[in-house]
Amino acid sequence: MTTGSGDPGNYAAARLRLLGGGARSGPPRRRALSGLTDAWLASLLGEAGEGIALVAVGGYGRGELSPRSDLDLLLLHTGRDAHEVAALADSLWYPVWDLGIALDHSVRTPEEAERAAAGDLRVQLGLLDARHIAGDPRLTAALRTRMLARWRTGAHRLLPELREAALERARRHGELRFLLEPDLKEARGGLRDATALRAVAASWLADAPREGLEEAHRTLLDVRDALHLTTGRATDRLALQDQDQVAAALALEDADALLRRVYEAARVLSYACDVTWREVDRVLRARRPGPRRARRPAERTPLADGVVVQDGEVVLARTARPERDPVLPLRAAAAAAQAGLPPSRPALRRLAAAAPPLPVPWPAEAREEFVTLLGAGEAAVVVWEALDAEGLVTAWLPEWERVRCRPQRNPVHRWTVDRHLIETAARAGAHVRRVRRPDLLLVAALLHDIGKGRPGDHSVAGEAVVRDLAARMGFGAADTATLATVVRHHLLLAETATRRDLDDPATVRTVADAVGDTGTLELLHALTVADALATGPAAWSAWRAGLVADLVGRTGAVLEGEAAEAAEGTERREHPAPRPTAGAERLAAQAWRTGGPVLSLRTRAGTPAEADGSDRTGFAEEAGPEPVGVELLLALPDQPGVLPAAAGVLALHRLTVRAADLQAVDRPGRGRVLLLSWRVAAEYGTPPRADRLRADLVRALAGSLDIPARLAERERAHLGRARRYGAGSPPPKVTVAPAGSRLATVIEVRAQDAPGLLYRIGRALEDAGVTVRSARVGTLGASAVDAFYVTGPDGAPLPPREAAGLAAELERTLGG
């Protein structure tokens, strides 16, 4: 056996020339550096003969040599003389050390290499990338073949271990795309995760999404190369003081452009990890040992119209036609977030490719589903990230592109601008019971920093952006103005409370002038809290919370006093109920004539289908350009239990109540008829026929339809899914509206919309012995915002103590 005589000086000079600049950089330079190093090491090994092989493993094995990378080498032998092997190893390792190159080396037989891999996951991962450099190629090929076979046969055990290692790294090093000084290798979404994805693919159990993955990996390697060259150190941490130099080396505008490029790459890798590990879990669950059963198709549970659950993911129903339904992507996203389930990547890709753009302005259903998505709390973050990865977010909101992966240099911020916005919306979900317009709160939370990345004050820029956005989304002029005001002044409360004298009347006056009304003030208060909590732990404290609450209280008193002064001298009287439409009067006449319920169902563009006990029954086909819900008008003689019976029947038929009005119509000598006007939407499938609704309503009023038992199963399934997947919502809030009406007590209910909610409210009010004179029911996203005008048995408003007790009892009932 003879050894080579590779000249370290020649290698060092060639290496220096290669790293000294010129046209070659990126993958070509890494390949050239690996090839140059291979040739030098091969010359050092010389003619070693059979039974000896020099093998590159790990990053070197993958050909990913950065300027200051370690050389990961394995000297493989078949049991040759120990002294001879040691001398050969010395002839390899010492020249490397003499040049100051870091070396991770080992000398093993194939059997020793396999034992080392069996006891150390990182060793096994390194051997998966084994690449022959010099010596006996059969030895390297045999080892590589055996290691791949062991990896594949042990994948059911090794992949969970690999995933746990990735989770532990994420806990220790954080998420690369949110760090101001990220570790390009160890942080989540970094180079080690790229290696893990290769290992998963090598197991043949699952594969990572390919789109953009190679480019993201290359970007991180390029940044690491520039970091090594500019610092002269073998480091993976992109420190603040080095970022300008690294950006210049990569011909980027500045350090922010560098971080944004790194964050984009990390986002792609993180999303690929999420999708891949979910698929690994699915495959491993299917392979778990157990009694053999006949292979059956995976269960598909309906979740929303065109959306089902399969294998723990939200997928499209077989009957879904995304090319005909522009709202389907939002409906699927909202359903996934509310259920606390991830959307399937194939489903999202199909939606992104096939669904037409949303009409401008957005239809009402699109706004409702959008708000429902935002109101799902932490579950909305996961769904939003998946939507953004597949390009759906920028299809709805092109302005999002400016804030995506945009770094925030203030160390108080823990997130990039885009993630901070969706985190703020998730935090705002906990405050939707505090405000009269939860939909405006959630949208403002998502968009409050949308002006970042534009010239000038981001609050001023954001106001202009939001005005355009809100109009496109279909908000009316008043709501658009409110959203613009909230975005323009989203820093007002925190800055004023902590920097100004609250005892100075001018301070409160300035805030009151900027806010304008109490509704906007409560939105700003809730947004201020959510924004601070989503910023980071240093941005909020009990002290700040107290100052802001004090300012809000003082400003609210000023605004309420002005409202009272404006009303002074004006006679307070009950606003008369709106006159029933001609169609409603006709139904009321039929109800007086037949003594039973009469129903009319119509779509926005359809003709009515009625059910009054005669043969004229049916349901009008959809005639509009897109599904916007069904209008249901119900008239029947006044009797106990009407509201819970009607609400229960709708819930049994899986009709979601979007809005409802209840009013009584009296006719002397003929008694009172109740008119209930509903806007409903089928959860999925086709809405029921009017005659079926009427038949079930008659049975419910007669007591022969057990609504509680029928609804209990649905409610158990709904709550069970929420507990299983972690979906949660703020507790319900029931209040007595101050000075709400002169003729009745106004009970306001704000709660998470759920199957049978309106039925439970109606039952509770019936059990309390109060009469519902009228009601205004609305659903804003996933939140029910209802007002019930109730009186006591004497037809008068409830005494204050009794009203407060009713509200408290109703809140306990709904929260139980």
Quick one: pLDDT band at residue 296, thresholds 50, 70, 90?
A: low
pLDDT at 560: 85
pLDDT of residue 211: 85
Residue closest to 749 by CA, chosen among 674, 806, 802: 806
**Most trustworthy range by pLDDT among 219-223, 619-623, 632-636, 699-703:** 219-223
**At a CB cut-off of 8 Å and minimum separation 6, what does 429 contact?**
374, 375, 376, 377, 380, 442, 729, 730
What confidence score (pLDDT) does residue 325 get?
94
Q: What is the pLDDT of residues 134-149, one digit of tens each?
A: 999 999 999 999 999 9
Going by pLDDT thresholds of 50, 70 and 90, the confidence category of residue 533 is very high
Mean pLDDT of 422-444: 94
Class of residue 246 by CB neighbours under 10 A (exposed 0-12, middle 13-18, buried 19+): buried
Query: Span 158-181, mean pLDDT?
Result: 94
pLDDT, residue 617, reads: 31
pLDDT band at 570 (very low <50, low <70, confident <90, very high): very low
Confidence tier at 258 by pLDDT (50, 70, 90): very high
- What is the spatial distance between Cα 228 and Cα 69, in angstroms, rounded to a whole number? 9
Q: What is the mean pLDDT of residues 725-744?
A: 74
Distances (CA, A) of 379 to 328, 373, 375, 709, 729: 19, 9, 9, 30, 10
Residue 549: per-residue pLDDT? 94
536: left (phi over 0), alpha (psi -120 to 50) or beta: left
C-alpha distance from residue 294 to each of 127, 285, 291, 297 (Å): 39, 16, 10, 10
Q: Assess whether pLDDT exceeds 90 at residue 114.
A: yes
* Mean pLDDT in residue range 349-368: 95
Q: Which has more confidence, 716 or 219?
A: 219
**H or E segment and range at residue 74:** strand 71-77
Average pLDDT over residues 623-630: 46
Q: Looking at the predicted structure, is the pLDDT value of residue 276 above 80?
A: yes
Q: Looking at residue 537, what DSSP letter applies?
A: G
pLDDT of residue 739: 62
As a residue count, the chain comes to 816
Burial class (CB in 10 A: 0-12, 13-18, 19+), 464: middle
d(CA 718, CA 684): 15
Res. 616 pLDDT band, cuts 50 70 90: very low
Lowest mean pLDDT, pick from 190-194, 313-317, 581-585, 783-787: 581-585
- Residue 723 pLDDT: 40
Cα-only R_g, the chain: 34
Q: Is the pLDDT of residue 355 over 80?
A: yes
Beta pairing partners, 66: none
Over 90: is that where the pLDDT of 50 sits? Answer: no
Lowest-pLDDT choice from 173-187, 355-369, 406-420, 662-676: 662-676
> Across residues 70-97, what is the average pLDDT?
91
Q: What is the pTM of this model?
A: 0.84
Ranges assigned E (strand) in 604-686: 609-611, 630-637, 655-667, 671-682
- Under the banding of pLDDT at 50, 70 and 90, the label for residue 286 is confident
| Domain topology for 157-285 | Four Helix Bundle (Hemerythrin (Met), subunit A) (1.20.120)
Please report which confidence band the pLDDT of residue 626 belongs to, taking 50, 70 and 90 as the band edges.
very low
Contact 308, 685 (CB under 8 A): no
* Average pLDDT for 625-633: 62
Give me the pLDDT at residue 392, please. 97
Tell me the average pLDDT of the chain.
86
Residue 218 has pLDDT above 80, yes or no: yes
Task: Band the pLDDT of 728: cuts 50, 70, 90.
Answer: low
| Contact status, residue 711 vs residue 651, Cβ threshold 8 Å | yes
Check residue 300 and give its pLDDT: 85
Picking from 785, 769, 797, 794, the residue whose alpha carbon sits closest to that of residue 735 is 785
Q: What percent of the chain has pLDDT over 70?
A: 89
Cα-based torsion angle of the residue sequence 697, 699, 702, 708 in order, rounded to the nearest 10 degrees: -80
Task: State the average pLDDT over residues 109-130.
Answer: 92
Q: For residue 318, is pLDDT > 80?
A: yes
Across the range 491-515, mean pLDDT stands at 92
Q: What are phi and psi of 721, to 5 degrees?
A: -65, -40
- Hey, which of 486-490, 533-537, 772-776, 794-798 has the most confident mean pLDDT? 486-490
User: Per-residue pLDDT averaged across 785-813, rounded?
Assistant: 90
User: Does the structure show a pLDDT above 90 at 398?
Assistant: yes
The SS3 assignment for 746 reads: strand
Alpha-carbon distance of 180 to 172, in angstroms, equals 15
Give me the sheet containing 131-135, strands edge to edge: 103-108, 71-77, 52-56, 131-135
Residue 577 has pLDDT above 60, yes or no: no
Q: What is the pLDDT of residue 725?
A: 40
Which residue did the predictor score with more confidence, 48 or 163? 163
How sure is the predictor about 576, in pLDDT bands with cuts at 50, 70 and 90?
A: very low
CA distances from 66 to 25, 98, 218, 236 (A): 10, 19, 12, 11
Closest by CA to 439, choosing from 474, 468, 404, 415, is: 474
- Average pLDDT in the 208-225 region? 92
Is pLDDT at 289 greater than 60 in this prediction?
yes
What is the mean pLDDT of the segment spanning 717-731?
54
Summarize the confidence of residues 678-688 as an average pLDDT.
79
DSSP alpha helices (H): ranges in 288-376? 328-339, 345-354, 364-374
pLDDT tier at 390, thresholds 50, 70, 90: very high
Instruction: Say yes or no to pLDDT of 643 above 90.
Output: no
Q: Which is it for strands 103-108 and 71-77: parallel, antiparallel or unpaired?
A: parallel
Are the beta carbons of 184 and 227 closer than 8 angstroms?
yes
Q: Report which of 668, 603, 678, 593 is spatially closest to residue 637, judged by C-alpha positions.
A: 593
How confident is residue 618, by pLDDT bands cut at 50, 70 and 90?
very low
Nearest to 787 by CA among 745, 730, 757, 742: 745
| Residue 581: both structure tokens together | 């439409």
| Peptide linkage before 361 cis (omega within 30 of 0) | yes
pLDDT at 352: 96
- Sheet of 598-603: strand order equals 609-611, 598-603, 630-637, 671-682, 655-667, 771-780, 783-791, 745-752, 733-736
Let me know: does 762 contact 647? Beta carbons within 8 Å.
Answer: yes
Percentages of the chain per state (helix, strand, coil), in multiples of 5: 55, 15, 30
Q: What mean pLDDT comes out for the span 435-450?
A: 96
- What residue ranges do the domains of the chain occupy? 8-153, 157-285, 317-396, 424-561, 582-815
Would you state the structure tokens that stand for residue 225, as one six-digit string? 């190369």
Cα distance between residue 238 and residue 183, in whole Å: 6
Q: Rounded to the nearest 10 degrees, how much is the dihedral formed by the CA atoms of 26, 27, 30, 31? A: -150
> What span, in angstroms and rounded, lies between the C-alpha atoms of 790 and 771?
5
Predicted local confidence at residue 23, as pLDDT:
56
Any idea which residue has 């396999």 for tokens? 114
Q: Of 90-94, 545-549, 646-650, where does mean pLDDT reach its minimum? A: 646-650
What is the pLDDT, as a whole number, of residue 485?
97
Res 613: pLDDT: 44
Task: In whole angstroms, give the CA distance from residue 486 to residue 484.
Answer: 6
The domain 8-153 is placed in CATH, from the list 3.30.70, 3.30.460, 3.40.50, 1.10.3470, at 3.30.460
pLDDT of 543 above 50: yes
How high is the pLDDT of residue 680?
83
